[in-house]
Amino acid sequence: MNGQKFPVMECFGPTIQGEGALAGQRSHFIRFGGCDYRCTWCDSMHAVDPDLVKLNAKWLLPNEIRQELETIQATGGHSNWVTLTGGNPVMWDLSQVVECLQDLPSPSRKANGLGWYINVETQGSEWRDWLKNVEQVTCSPKGPSSGMSDKFSWGKLDKFVKELTRSSSPSTLALKIVIFNEDDLIFAKNIHETYPHVDMYLSVGTDLSWYDYPDGGEKMRGWVGARYSWLAEEVLKDNTFYDVTVFPQLHVLMWPNEKTGR
Ligand code: SF4
């Protein structure tokens, strides 16, 4: 019990969630190392590259992860949410971590400012039963611009959607697709037509080259704003998208040029 350690790359917050169903809300983040994908535009390679994970991960027990959160909460402020991200956190059996973070009953957690509701961010390439025990799952299948089309599986996404949309599941599922180009939009459209009952969020992709652009904060904001206008226009042209939510990556607007959390 609680004997397994997990590779934690960073633990930070509270900050503002930049994407998906919780966009704009305060959240703490725990970033786990390891990912089965290598997306061309990944902005979290420090949690993906096995050499970097080996070099930089802190291997922590579930109760040590909770202690890290309690420390940053004591010094940085409260959030009702903690987001388990990566990498792909679903590579790991995090059931003990989830239990450890949820070990106070929800109403008491919220009323007393203790404990957290849990959001998991994953691309949906693996299913784990512990996902049914968290409050929110944000599943982000990767479109053609990621270079990961050969890894995408309708069968795996189907399993994800079926498990998390059963009436008995306490978890809420949201689908989030990062859009760089027209091919990504077609990919998102196919997914939305297949699962119209699942909330979909479209997120403007951010070109990685901006992170290295010297003093490029304002220019980066301008570029993201222009891409947001483009995506909004595209979505308005197509009635399939009548009920999707369209966002830029809010953290890029708030803190341009910063890849990792604050
Ligand atoms: S799935 Fe996510 S973490 Fe993994 S390589 Fe792609 S963008 Fe990066």
Residues near 252 by Cβ (< 8 Å), separated by ≥ 6?
Answer: 18, 206, 220, 221, 224
In this predicted structure, the answer to whether residue 108 has a pLDDT above a threshold of 60 is no
pLDDT of residue 251: 85
pLDDT score at 104 = 61
Pocket test residue of 142, 208, 249 for ligand 1, highest count of atoms within 8 A of CB: 142
**pLDDT for 223:** 87
Average pLDDT, the chain: 90
Binding-site residues, ligand 1, Cβ < 6 A: 35, 37-39, 42, 44, 48, 86-88, 123, 142
Over range 69-94, report the average pLDDT.
92
Closest protein CA for atom 1 of ligand 1: 37
What's the gap in Å between 36 CA and the centre of ligand 1? 8
With pLDDT > 70 as the criterion, what percentage of the chain qualifies?
Answer: 90
Confidence of residue 78 (pLDDT cuts 50, 70, 90): confident
Query: How far does residue 47's CA lie from ligand 1's centre (Å)?
Result: 9
Q: For ligand 1, atom 3, which residue shows the shortest CA distance?
A: 87
The per-residue pLDDT for 149 is: 96
Mean local confidence (pLDDT), 116-132? 94
Ligand 1: nearest atom to the Cα of 125: 1
Taking only the tens place, the pLDDT of each residue in 198-234 is 999 999 998 877 766 666 678 888 888 999 999 999 9
Q: Is the pLDDT of residue 134 over 80?
A: yes
Percent of the chain beyond pLDDT 90?
73
Strands 245-247 and 199-204: parallel
Distance of alpha carbon 11 from alpha carbon 20, whole angstroms: 20
Burial 153-192 (b: 16+ CB within 10 A, else e): eeebbeebbebbeeeeeebbbbbbbbbbeeebbebbbebb
Question: Tell me, what's the pLDDT at 261?
Answer: 53
| 132 vs 256, higher pLDDT | 132
pLDDT at 91 (0 to 100): 97
Which of 159 and 1 is assigned the larger pLDDT?
Answer: 159
